[in-house]
Amino acid sequence: MQFNRGEWSELYALLELLDNQDLKIVDDNLEIIDDSTFRVIGLYVQNNNNEYYFDIKGINVDVLKNNKVISNVKKTEIQKYKEVLLEKIIKELPGNGSFPIQEMKYILEKLTEGNKIKSSSTSKEDISAKLKDNKLNTIVNKVGYSIKSSLGSPATLLNASNNTNFKYLIKGLSAEDIEKVNNINTNTKLVDRLKYMKDKNAEIKFDEVISSTMSQNLQMIDSRLPEILADLLLASYEAREKNIGKLLHYVSENNILNYTGNSEMYYKKKIGDFLLAVTLGMMPGVIWNGEYDVTGGIILVENDGKILVLDAIYYKEYLVKYLIKNTKLESPSSSRYKMFDIYPDKGENYFNLNLQIRFIK
């Protein structure tokens, strides 16, 4: 029974929501703006093709596995174990990988028969809820949420893979120049390779998203999104800036799509739509139909154990603003993805860059 900090954090989020049922909805600065609209009535988690439902009934919680009651837990027990769990997570040194918390064995077996909370690899959803919507005075069932925790390392929003490779055409370099670029192996080789190309007045132009699936998914969001992301990715090395919010200024000044008027407004809207899609449903290697499986938003586990919600139902604009301000581009393994390695293809020269996005904190 060893889990990593993120997995233990997901268990903590479950316990906290079972104990404190009113969702604390926050704005992009994590200030509470609404704590009365949604109340948790029950929670669902998936594991090994089984569905566990936690039905909150006053001071008790019934635990159902595939619609059959298997145990009952008192809220006083939940309160006790969540405090122990938070203390143990905080005390564990970051970067230690998986670790046991023996004190949690009893409550974990009661709730999930000892299994961790594990969502499907084809879904962005970590947990779903049955909610009382006090605005509409209705019950809404299976509202999906993604859990992001500050108790561990910053979470990855978009993982690097062969599906996130962007291909660029490069012209104006001699064979000798190309050899020199490919032999640059400094500690900052990606930045240095691009600088060499720029110093040689090379012409660089986005060619394609190599994965047809990823390309199709991006165009589902916006037909020009592949070009915008390619420019954002290249700009991160040229400007030596990874923060997406700050990079937007740089890309807007380049304005490769020649928007008139306030160009930053256009780029911010399109990048915001992309980040929202990645958060709520789109996966690079799966053909996406434009629908979200995370319908509720993001559950944030803060360093002090507070549970906050970035809501996608009534306050989506704050969720988008938060994503723009609190995400960054990250350079994955340059050797694995052969970034800025110039190679020939059909009589032309190209290089690839890989897109990976991580939360800043």
The tens digit of pLDDT for each residue in 292-316 reads 989 999 999 998 999 999 999 999 9
User: Tens digits of per-residue pLDDT, 82-117?
Assistant: 999 999 999 887 767 889 999 999 999 999 998 877
User: Which pLDDT value is given to residue 119?
Assistant: 63
- Of 10, 33, 37, 11, residue with least CA distance to 23: 37
Q: What is the mean pLDDT of residues 25-29?
A: 98
Q: What is the mean pLDDT of residues 306-327?
A: 97
171 pLDDT higher than 90: yes
Measured in residues, the chain has a length of 361
Mean pLDDT over all residues of the chain?
Answer: 94
**Residue 49 pLDDT exceeds 80:** yes
Structure token pair of residue 101: 């918390």
What's the confidence (pLDDT) of residue 153?
79
Helices (H), the chain: 5-19, 75-91, 105-112, 175-182, 189-199, 212-221, 225-238, 244-254, 263-280, 316-325, 334-337
Confidence of residue 327 (pLDDT cuts 50, 70, 90): very high
Question: What confidence tier does 154 reach under pLDDT thresholds 50, 70, 90?
Answer: confident
- Cα atoms in the 13 Å half-sphere on the side-chain side of 342: 25
Burial class of residue 138 (count of CB atoms within 10 Å of its CB; 0-12, 13-18, 19+) = exposed
Residue 281 is predicted with a pLDDT of: 93
Cα separation of 149 and 289, whole Å? 28
Q: What is the pLDDT of residue 48?
A: 76
Q: Is the dihedral of CA 312, 314, 317, 323 positive or negative?
A: negative
pLDDT given for residue 117 in this prediction:
77
**CA gap 187, 210 in Å, rounded:** 27
Alpha carbon distance 79, 121 (integer Å): 30
Q: Is the dihedral of CA 121, 287, 209, 278 positive or negative?
A: negative
Cα separation, 148 vs 293, in Å, equals 16
* pTM > 0.85: yes or no: yes
Percent of the chain with pLDDT over 70: 98
